[in-house]
Chain A
Amino acid sequence: MIDIRRVFTQVEHIHHEFGPRAQTPLVRGAIAAVLTNPFAGRYEPDILPMMSLLDPVGLEMAHKLHAAMDVPLEQLATYGKGAIVGAAGELEHGALWHVPGGYAMRELLGWKGDRVAYAKGTVDEKKTGQPGNALSIVPSTKKVGAPGTTLDVPLTNINASYVRGQFDAIEVRVPGAPAADEIVFILAMSTGYRVHARVGGLLAENIAKWDGLR
């Protein structure tokens, strides 16, 4: 059921945006796996079996993305994910990526939560201090599109969704994909603040609640 056709990696170093040159550039990266869509061309009621089979795909992509970004793990400050489903598929096929895509980056970043509960969607954690890393919901977008369709993948802080200076998005586009019977599954991460962030709000160093929000 899992058939990876292509892997597309993109890493950006942003030095300035017509303001002062950053001492350390913002690094943003995205990785896109182009898979054959096993459900293309028909309505398949039971698509869930594919979800757990995507776990190893997610892990491979998360590790490949980190390697391509070539920054220490602790500098990965934001994450996001997305999917582009080819024309013979449906949006729901892209939704299969929510759990394995999020799980993969959480594993990479040092999450310490309950995996089974996470997969079932029944997480109910008691928050005391910082319970591991990657506490925030992984923001996402998805669409059905033609080959070369662009997707803006949102990025937010991995531990507190409200870190305003790190709200961002990266445009991802794989030339030639997805074909009608393909799906593009995407992971994205960055080293944090927009290059000239200056609209206030919660700073990452002031995260205090460890509830994934603040």
Chain B
Amino acid sequence: MTANIRKLVVQVDETRKEMGRDIAPPTRRAVAIAVIANPYAGRYSENLDELIAIGEELGALLGQKAVKALGIEPGQAQSYGKAAIVGEGGELEHAAAILHPKLGAPLRVAVEKGAALVPSAKKLGTLGTAIDVPLGHKDAAFVRSHFDAIEARVSDAPRAGEIVVAVAVTDSGRPLPRIGGLQAGEIKGEDGLR
């Protein structure tokens, strides 16, 4: 199954200054979004294999798009996240089928390594619904400076028979992290947690 992609949207958010302080180098977060047809819209299907395959395809495509938009090498990616908004003709489980079984492996190739869980969010929505894509450090989920989120929203999607799928990648944590916890420089990156 190849995804029927109607639209691809890539956004980059670069922060150069926060609370009057220079952020050098700027923090940068990218989110790559695909608007796809939902092959199961309007009916109950016990088997969701088509969406699982689409998830695998989009993990690679959107991961690569986000990394390219940041202009970095895969190994320079620091945090990631994923999310989906299912149009009204679908069900929450459709988002789960895309996001959870197979999207992660090709995304981890796109960002190199990725020992940590890919944090996720999902919801049902309509045209212009926004979703906050959670972000966590890609190799150690407890890195506190990298807990963040980026909004994804497509003005004309999802239609009832569509799904919006978003993958976010950053090359940095928050602009002015100062609440302690595990630092990115201290991680082992083996168990995905610390």
Residues in A lying within 8 Å of B, measured CB to CB: 3-18, 25, 68, 150, 171, 173-175
Contact = CB atoms under 8 A, between A and B. Distances in A.
B11 A8 contact: yes
B97 to A, nearest CB: 22
B155 A150 contact: yes
Interface string B121-150: 000000000100000000000000000001
Contact of A11 (B9, B15, B16, B17): B9
Among A6, A14, A16, A17, which residue has the most Cβ atoms of chain B within 10 A? A6
Interface in B6-29: 6-18, 26
13 contacts: A4-B16, A4-B17, A6-B17, A7-B16, A7-B26, A8-B11, A9-B12, A11-B11, A12-B9, A13-B8, A17-B6, A68-B10, A174-B13
Contacts of A17: 6
Given A12-B8, A15-B5, A16-B6, A175 B151 contact: yes
A71 to B, nearest CB: 13
Contacts of B7: 12-15
B14 A7 contact: yes
B69 interface: yes
A8 B16 CA distance: 11
A15 B16 contact: no
